[in-house]
Amino acid sequence: MSDSVARFDKALAKEIVKQALKKVADFKGDNIEDFTFSRFQDFHKKLFLSALKKGVRSVRRDGKGFYDICLDDDSIEQWETVGDCIQWVYRNRQLYRTSSKKLPQSKLRR
């Protein structure tokens, strides 16, 4: 992602989710919103969630902050489809200022 992204919109959330999915499997097509996570094994879930968190954290805002989301091992269970995941990422991303002395800790257990 870019070091100077000004807006974290739904299109960006979709691209981040799409890139995280590529870490797990080769998903073809642009209309990924209807895909489900039904065939994901525990390994796939962990890999996807880790890539998702990394993708969100890579988004910088004007060099003054970065985005993050709180995920845990069960986060994927709340999404029926990839579209639900995209919406969740868009709604739950948080901006953290880099000038902050305390940066958020990852909630994703490895």
- Is 109 contained in some domain? no
Residue 56 placed within a domain: yes
Give per-residue pLDDT as tens, 46-91: 999 999 999 999 998 877 789 999 999 899 999 999 999 999 999 9
Is residue 88 included in any domain, yes or no? yes
Residue 103 forms part of a structural domain:
no
DSSP string, the chain: --TT-----HHHHHHHHHHHHHTT----SS--TT-BSTT--HHHHHHHHHHHHHHHHT-EETTTEEEE----TTGGGG-SBHHHHHHHHHHH-EEEETT-SSPPPP----
Number of domains in the chain: 1
In a domain, 2, yes or no: no
How distant, in Å, are the alpha carbons of 30, 57, 80, 103 from that of 76? 21, 18, 8, 24
- Residue 5 located in a structural domain: no
Spatial separation of the C-alpha atoms in residues 23 and 40, rounded to whole Å = 12
Give CA–CA dist 50/98, Å, rounded: 21
Domain span at 36: 10-97
Tell me, what's the pLDDT at 61? 81
- Mean pLDDT throughout 8-14? 94
Tell me what pLDDT residue 2 has: 47
Dump pLDDT digits (tens) for 14-49.
Answer: 999 999 999 998 777 768 899 999 999 999 999 999
Residue 58 half-sphere exposure toward CB, CA atoms < 13 A: 15
Tell whether 4 is covered by a domain.
Answer: no
Within-domain flag for 1: no
